[in-house]
A and B are shown apart, each in its own frame.
Chain A
Amino acid sequence: MGGTAVADAMLLTRRNLLHYLRVPSLIVFSTVTPVMFVVLFGYVFGGAIDIPGFSYIDFLMPGIFVQTVAFGAMQTGIGLAEDMSKGMVDRLRSLPMARSAVLVGRTMADTIRNFLVVGLMAGVGLLIGFRFHNGLVAALAGLGLVVLFAMSFAWISATIGLSLGSVESAQSSGLVWVFPLTFASSIFVPVATMPGWLQAFARVNPVTHVVDALRALFLGGPAATEVWWSLGWIAGILAVFVPLSVSRFRRL
């Protein structure tokens, strides 16, 4: 059964990737939006905010990586909701295939997409002046961490998409959880500049830990603590939301 589950998941991964290749709005969402984020935030805020010790673009880029994949995670729930509303999920559930394949196929496709998104953003970032200051290994470790983080958010999004079942609600719900997590974090400004109550939230926010880990990995400095915090959050999110999605899927 194990081999079957992998084969089934791969079939659906391929199907979902074909969607990304063939639907113009999905291509734009996956490539143009991340590039736009890098360029806009780099140039718009680049000169305005002064972070001691760094150029702002170097401070900002790790945050933009995380923000982009966090917003991109909404696509997982939207895709599942779309398949549900069009009857595709019912068809797949009536086939003698592994039950896990629909969810794994969706999150795998989104993870592969994120590898491309992250690579593309790194390229554009380098073009407009961003630099990795801490060597190739640390840079690659950081980009890998972004992709892992994106995968954990994809499963949150999957749970929400399966619970809502409509594309429109999945779309707007993303704003309710993704917005606070990304903005009340260290993405744009150091947490220390926030009011006390918001600092309390921002400091435990997984987004802050991942962004701080990336800054250490890309720019230099002690990274281990923040990397472990990030991995802990990612493992925790997966431990909660993978079983939640699976149980939602079983009881559709």
Chain B
Amino acid sequence: MLSPVSSPNGPAILVEGLFKSYGAIRALDGIDLRVPAGSVLGLLGPNGAGKTTAVRVLTTLLLPDAGKVLVAGHDVVKEPGRVRSVIGLAGQFAAVDEILTGRENLVLVGRLYHLEKDDASRRAAEILERFDLVAAADRRVGTYSGGMRRRLDLGASLVGRPEVLFLDEPTSGLDPRSRIGLWEIIAELVAAGTTLLLTTQYLEEADRLADTIAVIDNGRVIAQGSPDHLKSRVGGEVVDVTVTPAAHARAAVTALSAIASGEAHVDPQAGRVSVPVSAGGSVVADAVRLLDAAGIGIADLSLRRPTLDDVFLTLTGHAAEAPPEARVDGALTGGPD
């Protein structure tokens, strides 16, 4: 393997002024990122935000229009071959061959990393062991469950012992149990010192795995910081109230201002109010008391952890689920994102 030309302390990923357009649509509109070696960056954003486009540029699958992108010190445009020899990529689709067995898939990838036959077999066996796929190793992947395919896909991305790993929505479409299983595996990798760039639509996932989260929307990084830092901008928790009649929604916001830690979101038609609050023991009781004192009827009330929607509402003023016109843009910016 080629050794990186970067200094040992240089960032594993450096992105400056990255632009990529598809026709009139700006998929990436000036992205800057810096990921220190051994750390985890979570790229968080809704569908169509540009996450997959960014990963495709960083993994040499797509040429940028402008900007500088270095991965492990290598320029993705000028030295794509060097970049490919030090990265691993697992995309959204579990890109493994269904007709081959799990072992054959891993050996094929190993051989394409130019490992000798024996080394490729040994590496495949190690990965099958590590990802709990030994029993299914010699079955065709077509017979695997969704969770097993994702594990194999992730395993395939590790065959070349990458310095920098890219995981594009590694758990989307998985059931909660498989998702948690995959998180545990990813957390182990990270603990072993692999630099990771992870894209996700789930705040919880970024929260659990990332050292730094970059929130991306319409091709721009709109906020960057530690998970705690971002959540503190939203508030500790969120109280959702549905009031009756719906017309009392605005009055409810006023009533709850005493416990609010941030700006409330109101859906006047549905009579629904979401109020960020500081985490604490009695917020539910406080909310009920305050609404009752103001004479506002409660159809439903619940307390929950902030979601990506809340982060987006706070940061952008619009929900993570993009408005219709933006969603059309998103759909055109390079497919599923």
- Residue on A with the closest CB to B85? A96
Q: Are A87's CB and B91's CB within 8 A?
A: yes
CA distance A97 to B113 in the complex (A): 7
Bound Cα distance A251, B60 (Å): 11
Q: Please, what's the 1-or-0 string for A86-123, where 1 marks a CB less than 8 Å from any CB in chain B?
A: 11101111111100010000000000000000000000
Cα-based distance from A150 to B325 in the complex (angstroms): 47
**B111 touches which one: A11, A87, A90 (CB < 8 A)?**
A11
Report whether B87 and A94 are in contact in the complex, using a CB–CB cutoff of 8 Å: yes
Chain A 68-96 near chain B by CB (<8 Å), digits 1 or 0: 00000000000000000011101111111
Closest residue to A85 on the B side, CB-wise? Answer: B93
Chain A residues near B92 (CB, 8 Å)?
87
Residues of B contacting A7 in the complex (Cβ-Cβ under 8 angstroms): 111, 114
Interface residues of A in 184-219 (CB under 8 A from B): none
CB distance from A142 to the nearest CB of B (A): 34
Among A86, A92, A93, A94, find the residue whose CB has the most chain B CB atoms closer than 10 A.
Answer: A94
Interface string of B51-85 (1 = CB under 8 A from A): 00000100111010000000000000000010011
B-chain residues with CB within 8 Å of residue A15 when the two chains form the complex: 97, 100, 108
Smallest CB gap from B81: residue in A: A96
Residues of A within 8 A of B112 (CB): 8, 11, 92, 95-97, 101
**Any chain B CB within 8 A of the CB of A44?**
no
Is B156 on the interface with A (CB-CB < 8 A)? Answer: yes
The minimal Cβ–Cβ distance linking B89 to chain A, given in whole angstroms, is 4
Distance between Cα atoms of A195 and B100 in the complex (Å): 51
Chain B: residues with Cβ within 8 Å of the partner, total of 30
Q: Is B25 an interface residue (CB 8 A)?
A: no
- C-alpha spacing A48/B269, complex, angstroms: 76
Interface residues of B in 130-188 (CB under 8 A from A): 140, 156, 160
B279 located at the interface, meaning its Cβ lies under 8 Å from any Cβ of chain A in the complex: no
**Distance from B106 Cβ to chain A, minimum over Cβ atoms (Å):** 12
User: Which of B97, B104, B112, B113 has the largest count of A CB atoms less than 10 A from its CB?
Assistant: B112
CB-CB nearest in chain A for B88: A94
Contact between chains at A95 and B91 (CB < 8 Å): no
Decide if A96 touches B61 in the complex (CB within 8 Å): no
CB pairs A–B below 8 angstroms (23 shown):
A4-B114, A7-B111, A11-B108, A11-B111, A11-B112, A15-B97, A15-B108, A18-B99, A19-B99, A22-B99, A22-B140, A86-B95, A90-B61, A91-B96, A94-B61, A94-B87, A95-B109, A95-B112, A95-B160, A96-B113, A97-B113, A101-B112, A252-B61
Residues of chain B having any CB pair with chain A under 8 Å: 56, 59-61, 63, 81, 84-85, 87, 89, 91-100, 104, 108-109, 111-114, 140, 156, 160
Known: A8-B112, A88-B96. 9 other contacts (CB 8 A): A4-B114, A7-B111, A7-B114, A15-B100, A88-B97, A91-B91, A91-B109, A94-B61, A97-B112
